[in-house]
A = this chain, B = another copy of it.
Amino acid sequence: MEAGLPTFGDIESSQRRLRGRAVTTPLVYSPEVERRIGVRTLLKVETMQRTGTFKFRGACAFISRIPEAERGAGVVAYSSGNHAQGVAAAARLFGIPATIVMPDDAPSVKLDRTKALGAEVVTYDRRRESREEIGEALAGERGAILIPPYDHPGTIAGQGTVGLEIARQCEAEGEAPDAVLVPCGGGGLTAGIALALERLVPAARVWTVEPAGFDDHARSFREGRRLANDPTPPPSMCDALLAPTPGEITFQITRRLVAGGLVVADDEVRSAMRFAFEHLKLVLEPGGAVALAALLSGRLPIASGIVVAVLSGGNVAPGLFAEVIAD
């Protein structure tokens, strides 16, 4: 698997590796979303995953594939926060050390949580230093293994278990999704879900959802090639979705399997977070709310059928959350 693209079989084997380790997160019907948009909506509540995001799946599947004899020196990751926590929690579960390279302006809730999970945190300046270089240098020094946040077949296969669960949970209820909306940063989650659904629900159309100013996937799909975001983009509250460009590996999958890219503005994200608080009783972080935001603001061109929105993360600082729900 290392050399090429991940396969459906890799996702299935990831699912076996995650058994007893990851949470099978619920897929829940929301009458209130349906009432608003007129389309039957199921929510994949991945916020209830360990560490509050899907990132634990990729990290855990990745580590489980490292031969036991090579795990001892531990793992290294670079991340704005959610991948950091996923790797830290997975490393703790396997009893190996984790070192995480995080931007010094990451939300403090994410820095603190990563440390609380037992990882060593090394910070860097996002504007002047390269996290990739720091991560690779650390891994080299320590003989540790680097876990890429999205552009690796092992990571993608792990995230793809979200798609496997969506397909099987829908099937158990006798429902077949027509559209699946996925919050998108580097594209690892989208690629994994699209691969799983290609096999299990081929008629389902997968859409990425990105924050305004970071719509590299939406534009890349239209152009048919990987485009980068403006290097000095406007600010976005979606700190989990700020990857500069689609991944090389992820884009080989998503360009083939994704129907298109939707884009939402910060105020739509805020509304979706408030809606989730009021009506779903769920805590969403900005980046985890973009798929719901796209639905509620009518961005998806669909008038009937069944829609699945992935709620991908819930790691939001109490202060920001309080501000958003008070609006």
A29 to B26 alpha-carbon distance, docked (Å)? 10
Query: Which of B23, B29, B30, B318 is the one whose CB lies under 8 Å from A28?
Result: B23
Decide yes or no: A48 and B322 within 8 Å by CB, A28-B25, A29-B23 being known contacts.
no
Copies of this protein, total? 2
The yes or no answer to A270 lying at the interface (CB within 8 A) is no
A50 to B33 alpha-carbon distance, docked (Å)? 11
Asked if B48 and A281 make an inter-chain contact with CB atoms under 8 angstroms apart, the answer reads yes
In the complex, residue of chain B having the shortest beta-carbon distance to the beta carbon of A172: B172
Residue of A30, A48, A50 with most partner-chain B CB within 10 A = A48
Q: In the complex, what residues of B have CB within 8 A of residue A279's CB?
A: 52
* Contacting residues of chain A (298-320) with chain B, CB-CB under 8 angstroms: 314, 318-319
Q: In the complex, what residues of B have CB within 8 A of residue A277's CB?
A: 283, 318, 321
The yes or no answer to A284 lying at the interface (CB within 8 A) is yes
Q: In the complex, what residues of B have CB within 8 A of residue A30's CB?
A: 23, 48
Asked if A281 and B280 make an inter-chain contact with CB atoms under 8 angstroms apart, the answer reads no
Q: For chain A, which range describes its interface: under 10, 10 to 19, 20 to 34, or 35 or more residues?
A: 20 to 34
The yes or no answer to A45 lying at the interface (CB within 8 A) is yes
0/1 interface trace, chain A 177-205, chain B, CB 8 Å (1 if under): 00000000000000000000000000000
* Contacting residues of chain A (1-34) with chain B, CB-CB under 8 angstroms: 23-26, 28-32
Decide yes or no: A321 and B325 within 8 Å by CB, A26-B28, A281-B52 being known contacts.
yes
* Contacting residues of chain A (36-63) with chain B, CB-CB under 8 angstroms: 45, 47-48, 50, 52
The yes or no answer to A326 lying at the interface (CB within 8 A) is yes
A283 to B322 alpha-carbon distance, docked (Å)? 12
- Residues of A at the B interface (CB closer than 8 Å) are 23-26, 28-32, 45, 47-48, 50, 52, 277, 279-284, 314, 318-319, 321-322, 325-326
In the A-B complex, the 10 residue pairs with the closest CB atoms: A281-B314, A26-B26, A322-B322, A47-B281, A281-B283, A318-B325, A318-B326, A28-B48, A52-B281, A31-B50
6 contacts between A and B (CB under 8 A): A24-B29, A31-B50, A47-B281, A281-B284, A319-B326, A322-B326
